[in-house]
Amino acid sequence: MWMHDEGAVRTAGVLILKGQSEVVYRWLKSRPGEPADPRALVFLKDVFVILLRQNAHDAILAAALKAPARELFAVVPGYFAACVFLHRRQFETGFALLHAFRDRCLQNLERLPTDDADGFMVLFRQSLLLDDERYLSTPYYRDHQAINEAQLDDLHWIEAPPDGPEDEQPVILVSCDQKYAGLFLTGFLASVERLCRDRLVHVHLMDPQQQSPRLDELPVLDHNRLALTWERCGSLKCSAWYASGRFVRMPELLRRYRRPIYSFDADVTLNHPIERIGEAMTGADFGCFQWDFPSPCSVYLAAVTAFMPTAAGLEFATLVRNLILSKMSMQRPLLWLIDQAALYSAVYILAEKAGRLRISNFTRNIGMRHDDYIALCGQEVDKLRLMKQASGIDDDRAVGYPP
């Protein structure tokens, strides 16, 4: 009954809202001795997504309590219940729930529909989340962080012209691979030209076509100056790395510039002056737009972030970097949104638990959503394709671009 039947999804949601989740579970339950049907997980995920969008948090928690623990599809209500607890800032309970079913997900990865078109991988990204600083002293963290750090290429610098009027101003950073540079970089730089004056714009290219790219190959800016770095991604190459590599490079860039860095996705254009970020960053070490949505990997949005060269800002940037590197050994389908998962974990460790990181919520302090401050370019279908193909390594199709 769960095959692409919107009416059945709505009916199941109504039953759960009425406290009859056990009826839904009986519908989905596998025959004795048979594994859970992956279609049941997709169906149940659709039901709980609707409940979450309706803010039916109490109904989600009640349904999770009644989920049959031995069934694999019980990870779905468990995941959404954990999201509700984290959203309510009941971190200990939320993370305990994530731990309870995370291993079951990973052990059954081949049986889970992690490649469906609407991004079912969201249920399994929580394997990227950390809730305890003790993880940072485990052999797994040290060994895998070192293994993946050894795969990093040198950061190749193309210096900007010296002695400009913007030397004390925050740096505007955009990072992308060659394909995204061709699609979006000109539009992003044009919006910077329109809204910014006397700024240093730092472009970081990943896997450029040229052996050694040059500044004069980038669009000419009349009101701002350009700097350029580039790297070869080697064995780390995948669409998830293209999205998160800028955060791995952030500590080195902060130490080099010793001034704030405002980082942007490449596939956006600015709608508002950069000064709005500066005003929102007063007294903060890190800032970003936040989404009031329970999924932990979608709370701190990576599209626009600001890092300060303070002691706490450098500690935060370094922790985000190392968390990303320590997880890059995981199976690639789990790595999409690894950057936002690392931001969430680092905020929790350094701000929520240690109390030594000051965060600016741009959504509140600037007074608008992230997609008001920036215009999102490209098509949503391309984003979904990137999610679906984040495991690819070899060619454009493998790293998520249209054929």
pLDDT per residue, tens digit, the chain (403 aa), is 444 578 889 999 999 999 999 999 988 876 555 666 777 888 888 899 899 889 999 999 999 999 988 778 888 898 899 999 999 989 889 988 888 877 777 777 677 765 554 445 666 667 788 888 888 999 999 999 999 999 999 999 987 766 566 677 999 999 999 989 999 999 999 999 999 999 999 999 999 988 888 888 888 899 999 999 999 999 998 888 999 999 999 999 999 999 999 999 999 999 999 999 999 999 999 999 999 877 888 899 999 999 999 999 999 999 999 999 999 988 776 787 899 999 999 999 999 999 999 999 999 999 999 999 999 987 666 665 665 554 443 333 333 333 2
The pLDDT assigned to 282 comes to 96
Rounded Cα–Cα distance for residues 349 and 356 (Å): 9
The pLDDT assigned to 2 comes to 47
Rounded Cα–Cα distance for residues 305 and 266 (Å): 13
Closest CA to 180 of 387, 342, 370, 396: 396
DSSP symbols for 84-119: HHHHTT-HHHHHHHHHHHHHHHHHTGGGS-TT-TT-
Kindly give the interhelix angle for 38-53 and 75-87, rounded to the nearest 10 degrees: 20
Contacts of 150 (CB under 8 A, 6+ apart): none
DSSP state of 297: G
The pLDDT assigned to 399 comes to 37
Q: What are the contacts of 67-71 at 24+ separation with CB within 8 A?
A: 67/21, 67/25, 68/25, 68/29, 71/25, 71/28, 71/29, 71/30, 71/36
* Per-residue CA distances from 368 to 276, 303, 363, 365 (Å): 11, 14, 5, 8
Whether the full predicted model's pTM is greater than 0.85, yes or no, is yes
- Residues 235, 151 contacting (CB under 8 angstroms): yes
Rounded Cα–Cα distance for residues 241 and 144 (Å): 15
Query: Which run of H or of E encompasses 302?
Result: strand 300-307
Closest CA to 129 of 348, 388, 278, 312: 348
The pLDDT assigned to 391 comes to 41
Question: First and final CA of the chain: distance in angstroms?
Answer: 35
CATH class (in words) of the domain with range 150-388: alpha beta
The count of residues in the chain is 403
